[in-house]
Structure 1
Amino acid sequence: MFSILDRRAVLKGAGLLVAGGTLRPAMGAPVFGGHLKVAGAVGSASETLDPARQSMATDYIRGHLFYDGLVSLDDRLTPRPALAEALESDDFQTWHIQLRRHIRFHDGTALTAEDVVFSLLRHQAPTTGSQQYALARTMQSVRAVSSLLVEVVLEAPNSDFPAILGISNFAILKDGTRNFRTANGTGPFRCQEFTPGIRTVALKNPDFWGAPPYLDSVELIAIPDEMARHNALMSGDVDLIATANPRLVQMLQKNGFGIVESPVGTYTDLSIRLDQRYGRSADFVEGIKCLLNREQIRQSVFLGFSRIGNDQPIPPESPYFNTQLSQRRHDPEKARFLLKRSGFLNETIPLVCSPAALASVDIAVVLQYAASRIGQKMAVQRVPADGYWTQYWMKTPLGFGNINPRPAPSLTFEVGFASKSPWNESRWCNPQFDTLLREAKSTRDDARKRQLYWDMQALVSSGSGVCIPNFTNSLDAYAPHVCGLRPSQAGQLMGYDFARSVWLSGSRGQKI
């Protein structure tokens, strides 16, 4: 019998759990009460309270405020029981999910297996518009065995199924939920106000099933303008901001503000569509990869707050990172030779970027400069953040993506690089890779799984059209009275779940 708890024990015993960073000393004992104002970096009128459709950072924060999943992911992306007290499987294909007792939605109704069945199956309906449609389709059947027991049968074995359930899009809703003007979840806060793109107000849930949050209320706004967001923190208009500018870190620290730096698996990638004109030339793709000056991007764009990437998506802190894969380096002469051989050296290459994809505008400028030095012209087209993900992402010959960390390598590969994945940014298709992925998801031998992941990283780095120059370090900035923040490999603001852990020192942040 394999359970979620067994997997943690195996990983810990093998020395595979790595720290998320150095923790900041606590400022006294935690205290209850107060109102926290938070500014995110991205806001849009398309924001939603439907977990299945959530796709941006502020959405994910709301998801963690109002909802729970069957599984949660800790600071090291390790699955932990949440609404499910146990997940068990004999073969990695049929999973039994035992729910906790006495859990209630915000409207007072009790959580049952039927709610879980509804929540999981709605991802399979194209009309839902789920961000996890492709993953949900791997669930061959979902049924209630009893009032608190759910059986899920997958189309193929997957040892990382618990990690999949930890993705915030798979939050559990009340059976039959159709209206998302407000949120009716089981989470630590209740929704008092939600105005898409403008403001969200969350009030503490007095009937929360887990450890009660310290805060009385949380107010979330979006300030896309970078300087305006930092000024709001320094003036006291907000207490906490996401995506701090690396150039402002020293200034913030000198003025008494704190910084949380997390080495996450997030990356901004340049994606070359292999099914379009430029990408059909392997020489062109390799030439662009050789043209990327990764160290310059690390120093001039991220000011050292990143790790060098190698055009594959597994970050260096992962226990499955391929340490023997040869690092691709900036090689202008080789790049010029390849681009000339591709026949595109004398053309002007369009390059679409946007503030929506973190640092993509700066990376585009670095790449454009490197190209100019070998006689390759690039036309950088900067487009607005609003609408970028629907109108430009994965639609242009060369464009940028911004990919968040995922809780397991198999999931990272499945979503971004499997031949049939709708999120395969470069439209790369490699049957050998797909075969290795299937084996990795079904094997019980961790040494074999590591070798499979190493082979897959090599295939992606050499063959796909995705260029990953760096893995970013998440930077969050906070006022001195904000306590309890810590680094997390799950992403910014403690994997968007800060509100369950943060408290305010003294009498700061009066309740609204």
Structure 2
Amino acid sequence: MGTSSELTGPNADLPTILAQSHFLILPQGQTSFATANGTGPFRLVEFQPGIRTIVRRNPNFWKPGKPYLEAIELIGIPDEMSRVNALLSGDVQIINAVNPRSAKRIRGEPGYDLLETRSGLYTNLIMRQDHQPTASPDFTAAIKYLLDRPLINRALFRNYGTIANDHPIPLFHPYYRDDLPQTSLDLDRAKWHVQRGGLFGMRLPMYAAPAAEGSVEIASVLQEYAARVGLKLAVNRMTSDGYWSTHWMKHPLSFGNTNPRPTADMIFSLFYKSDATWNETGWRNPRFDGLLLEARAEPDTARRKQLYGEMQGLVRDHCGNAIPVFMSVLDGYDRRVKGLYPVPLGGFMGYTFAEHVWWDA
């Protein structure tokens, strides 16, 4: 290696972090990164951002026999319906970010199928803890009791999702706490919190956009249930363009959308630590911050699970964050593409499909 560095503190996740696709190795002494060619399975031939990328097989790839394909062309198709049409017309062989509403159409076509990857991807309602009334524990509790999670999963995501419990660790994660009671729709409890908090008749806008997948629909469902207990929530639908810079975290109520992360430490550090740049709710909990550092340094798996379990409880009970569902990632593909399997870091096998797939014409 050309350079070396030291960790600022112990981190039991270091091997996992270094195994991510972002940490692929470059040849020693390389100083130009214009072509991004390193030790991966393919070499870059052409790169037009947002339009197309063409790569060709690396004959010196260090894994014997891989990759199986000679070349791959990635094409930018922002519109989901256009991606599905391109797949079913044979113009492309695999697509990502399929909407659950398109699942039946793809699976109904001979020769095509869908790969479902259960993941930690979620859209969340952010209740800022530095604004009123969203900083009120009664407000956050009422909102969490107003979420009809099975309805959201069924109607919005066609059951291509997993019920969430207002913290970011999904049930298939090794550190998931399975003894934490599931928060569910309870209008009576929600109404009790609204009345106790002096919130009856409160009017408040929710900022949503298609950029936060499903947020507009989730907001509409929540608006309907909130009206039954005396909360008047208005859905402000914004355009996706500029949403993250203009509206995300900028209002008492807005929606976020968080991609899966490979470790519990990473998701907690990025979005829940008191001084994190992306601490969406502005939540500050010294006990949580202390547990985070302790868990990061703890090599014993059982003890780490215990620490992360307490953190899940703290987030669920005290953070101004409502997470109704973890969304599955859906890829559509031509059945002649072989070697695909789900990797919970995201679509396209956690974006590493190129190394593993082959074409069975």
SS class of match (1:435): helix
Q: 2:186 & 2:241 partners in 1: Cα distance?
A: 35
2:7 to 135, 143, 154: 154
Residue 236 in 1 paired to residue 111 in 2? no
**Contact kept? 1:407, 1:490, Cα under 8 Å:** yes
Q: 1:295 & 1:489 partners in 2: Cα distance?
A: 22
| RCO higher in structure (CA 8 A, sep ≥6) | 2
SS class of match (1:266): strand
Evaluate the alpha carbon distance shift between residue 283 and residue 225 of structure 1 in structure 2; reply closer, same or farther with a 3 A threshold: same
SS class of match (2:307): helix
Letter in 2 for 1:443: E
**Contact kept? 1:305, 1:472, Cα under 8 Å:** yes
| Runs of 4+, deviation exceeding 6 Å | none
Number of corresponding residues: 358
Using the TM superposition, give the Cα deviation of residue 178 of structure 1 relative to its aligned residue in structure 2, in angstroms. Answer: 6.6
Using the TM superposition, give the Cα deviation of residue 172 of structure 1 relative to its aligned residue in structure 2, in angstroms. Answer: 4.6
Residue 201 in 1 paired to residue 54 in 2? yes
Evaluate the alpha carbon distance shift between residue 229 and residue 412 of structure 1 in structure 2; reply closer, same or farther with a 3 A threshold: same
Residues 10-409 of structure 1 correspond to what in structure 2 (within 5 A)? 113-114=1-2, 117=3, 143=4, 152-172=5-25, 177=31, 180=34, 182-211=35-64, 212-256=66-110, 257-409=112-264
SS class of match (1:315): coil
TM-score normalised to structure 2 length: 0.91
Structure 1: stretches of 5+ with no match in the other structure: 1-112, 118-142, 144-151, 507-512
Structure 2: stretches of 5+ with no match in the other structure: none
Q: 1:390 & 1:221 partners in 2: Cα distance?
A: 27
Q: 2:7 & 2:80 partners in 1: Cα distance?
A: 44
Using the TM superposition, give the Cα deviation of residue 343 of structure 1 relative to its aligned residue in structure 2, in angstroms. Answer: 4.5
**Contact kept? 1:405, 1:491, Cα under 8 Å:** yes
**Contact kept? 2:194, 2:230, Cα under 8 Å:** no
Using the TM superposition, give the Cα deviation of residue 170 of structure 1 relative to its aligned residue in structure 2, in angstroms. Answer: 4.0
The root-mean-square deviation of aligned C-alpha atoms, in Å, is 2.1
Q: Deviations over 1:446-498 (max 9, x none)?
A: 22222111111100101111211111122111012221111122221110111
**Partner of residue 491, structure 1:** 346
Using the TM superposition, give the Cα deviation of residue 351 of structure 1 relative to its aligned residue in structure 2, in angstroms. Answer: 1.5
TM-score normalised to structure 1 length: 0.66
**Partner of residue 420, structure 1:** 275
Question: Alignment identity in percent?
Answer: 46
Using the TM superposition, give the Cα deviation of residue 317 of structure 1 relative to its aligned residue in structure 2, in angstroms. Answer: 0.8
**Partner of residue 75, structure 1:** none
Residues 475-490 of structure 1 correspond to what in structure 2 (within 5 A)? 475-490=330-345
Evaluate the alpha carbon distance shift between residue 335 and residue 431 of structure 1 in structure 2; reply closer, same or farther with a 3 A threshold: same
Evaluate the alpha carbon distance shift between residue 173 and residue 376 of structure 1 in structure 2; reply closer, same or farther with a 3 A threshold: farther
Q: 1:468 & 1:493 partners in 2: Cα distance?
A: 24
